[in-house]
Structure 1
Amino acid sequence: MIEGINLSKTYGNRNVLRDISLMIPKGEFTAVLGPNGAGKSTLLKILALISKPDSGEVKIGKQSFVNLKGELKRKIGILSHSSFLYPELTAYENLRFYGRLYDVRHLEEQIISVIKKVGLLLALNEPVYTFSRGMLQRLSIARALIHSPEVIFLDEPFTGLDQQGISLLQDVLKDLKSSQKTILMVTHSFEQGMEDIDRILIINKGQIAADFPTENLQSGDLKRIYFEKVAS
């Protein structure tokens, strides 16, 4: 479970988040949509314990960020706009570094498992500085999953991916959902990765403008609801 309680964040004179509260149950896959500057990535960073709110509280399960920051971070995998990869190291060396950081058991097997999922086995021993944008994104996904986190945060995960990469990521998302992982994905897309979504949040002007399940949602409904809420 992910819970944010009365979260607010200000940058300068701009209120990026304004007293947001939300709860995402264990095993739910939630997508967050909204226009540029709505506060989506800020919300994700706060829930993923990368950034502190000016006010409010974050809980993962029943544990609070205030008292158990290190322990909570072991439960979290995050894909953000920064790859958190070391370009001079190979893909294998990057995954080994993060695997050791999280004390991953059977690390060699886990490295092979996640690198296969993202389709980079043949590039395992290549230095990251030689990777294309799409390959960096795939490796970043593998890095986020190396320690089998319970909660996964994805910020625009399809960015930079070609059709093969998109297909691989969609398969990864299906596997995570079937494994009852709790997932929050920030996206601008109304299509990519949306077939497995349980719930949609629309963020506008730092607040939750809409929150609804995808069950029985018709193909045209999402766009209609989205544009109604961001125009208001």
Structure 2
Amino acid sequence: MIVAQGLTKRIGSKQILKGIDFEIRPGEFVSCFGPNGAGKSTTLKILALLSKPTDGELWIDGQKADTANPVLRRKIGVISHNSLLYNNLTARENLLFYGQMYEVPHLNNRVAELLEDVGLVHVANDLVGTFSRGMQQRLSIARSLIHDPPILLMDEPFTGLDEMAKHILNSILGKLSASKHTVFLITHNFDQGLEQSDQALILVSGKIVFRCQPQNMTQEEFRQHYLASQGAFK
């Protein structure tokens, strides 16, 4: 579903990514770990077609990626630190707006379904500007799923969530994994990142320094690899 070959990214004199290669098969759940400044968010922006690599190639669903390709963009949902919500619209109006952009069929039913999934039916007609951080993040999850994208990219989605929102997000991730959606998750949390992952990557200083199938090792063994990989690049 996603193939990255020699991706590099430079901004001015700073090289953020240094030729990374990975492959994510259809329906695979991949978690990416690494310290701050490792290049994780930059990688996600390239996968989301929000940024172009300086060098290298990216293929999505058999097509060479292009930031101007609307067909590929429709296959991707993104959850990031920015909710991408409009504070002067209600929760329902936000989802209707994004659904209309993606020409989602039976949109009213889809909006109602997602509001139920994220536990926001009771505030569907309230302005998003009045929502707590956790409620906004829950609505952001619904926004990213409105067009049922086969690929979901997430940058630290659990940050700032209340316990209810964490439970809801874990439930949604479980459903996505079971329904064979392709998921790329950036996280610092070993529990959340390894539990459902088919593949785990460690990115340090713009390079993938370790990859594994989490089911083949304990969480403590992975933690030791993570700590060792950071020490090697200090």
TM-score using structure 1 length: 0.97
Once residues 53 and 60 of structure 1 are traced to their aligned partners in structure 2, the CA distance between those partners, rounded to angstroms, is 14
- In the TM superposition, what is the alpha-carbon distance from 1:104 to its structure 2 partner? 0.4
- In the TM superposition, what is the alpha-carbon distance from 1:192 to its structure 2 partner? 2.4
Provide, for residues 61-118 of structure 1, a one-character-per-residue CA deviation record: whole Å limited to 9, x for no partner.
Answer: 1011239711000000001121111110001001000001001011111111111111
Amino acid at match of 1:43: T
Superposed CA RMSD in Å reads 1.2
- In the TM superposition, what is the alpha-carbon distance from 1:193 to its structure 2 partner? 4.9
Q: Could you tell me whether the CA contact under 8 Å between 2:25 and 2:182 is conserved in 1?
A: yes
- In the TM superposition, what is the alpha-carbon distance from 1:156 to its structure 2 partner? 0.3
- In the TM superposition, what is the alpha-carbon distance from 1:197 to its structure 2 partner? 1.1
Once residues 163 and 139 of structure 2 are traced to their aligned partners in structure 1, the CA distance between those partners, rounded to angstroms, is 16
Match of 1:12 in 2: 12
Match of 2:36 in 1: 36
Amino acid at match of 2:148: S
Amino acid at match of 2:167: S
Structure 2 gap ranges (5+): none
Q: Could you tell me whether the CA contact under 8 Å between 2:2 and 2:24 is conserved in 1?
A: yes
Number of residue pairs matched by the alignment: 232
Once residues 199 and 43 of structure 1 are traced to their aligned partners in structure 2, the CA distance between those partners, rounded to angstroms, is 16
Once residues 194 and 38 of structure 2 are traced to their aligned partners in structure 1, the CA distance between those partners, rounded to angstroms, is 20
- In the TM superposition, what is the alpha-carbon distance from 1:145 to its structure 2 partner? 0.3
Once residues 77 and 61 of structure 1 are traced to their aligned partners in structure 2, the CA distance between those partners, rounded to angstroms, is 14
Match of 1:219 in 2: 219
Amino acid at match of 1:229: S
Segment of structure 1 superposing worse, 64-73 or 113-122: 64-73
What SS does the corresponding residue of 1:161 show, helix, strand or coil?
coil
Match of 1:87 in 2: 87
Provide, for residues 109-134 of structure 1, a one-character-per-residue CA deviation record: whole Å limited to 9, x for no partner.
Answer: 11111111111111111101001111
What SS does the corresponding residue of 2:180 show, helix, strand or coil?
coil
What SS does the corresponding residue of 2:192 show, helix, strand or coil?
coil
- In the TM superposition, what is the alpha-carbon distance from 1:219 to its structure 2 partner? 2.8
Amino acid at match of 1:186: I
Match of 1:123 in 2: 123
Match of 2:169 in 1: 169
Match of 1:59 in 2: 59
Once residues 221 and 182 of structure 2 are traced to their aligned partners in structure 1, the CA distance between those partners, rounded to angstroms, is 25
Indicate whether 1:196 and 2:196 are aligned. yes
Match of 1:142 in 2: 142
Q: Could you tell me whether the CA contact under 8 Å between 2:194 and 2:214 is conserved in 1?
A: no
Segment of structure 1 superposing worse, 54-63 or 30-39: 54-63
Amino acid at match of 1:174: G
Q: Could you tell me whether the CA contact under 8 Å between 2:209 and 2:229 is conserved in 1?
A: yes
Change (3 A) 1:193 1:211: closer
Indicate whether 1:109 and 2:78 are aligned. no
Q: Could you tell me whether the CA contact under 8 Å between 1:95 and 1:146 is conserved in 2?
A: yes
Match of 2:22 in 1: 22
- In the TM superposition, what is the alpha-carbon distance from 1:60 to its structure 2 partner? 1.0
Structure 1 segments of 4 or more deviating over 3 A? none
User: What is the percent sequence identity of the aligned residues?
Assistant: 45
Once residues 46 and 27 of structure 2 are traced to their aligned partners in structure 1, the CA distance between those partners, rounded to angstroms, is 20
TM-score using structure 2 length: 0.96
Once residues 220 and 67 of structure 1 are traced to their aligned partners in structure 2, the CA distance between those partners, rounded to angstroms, is 39
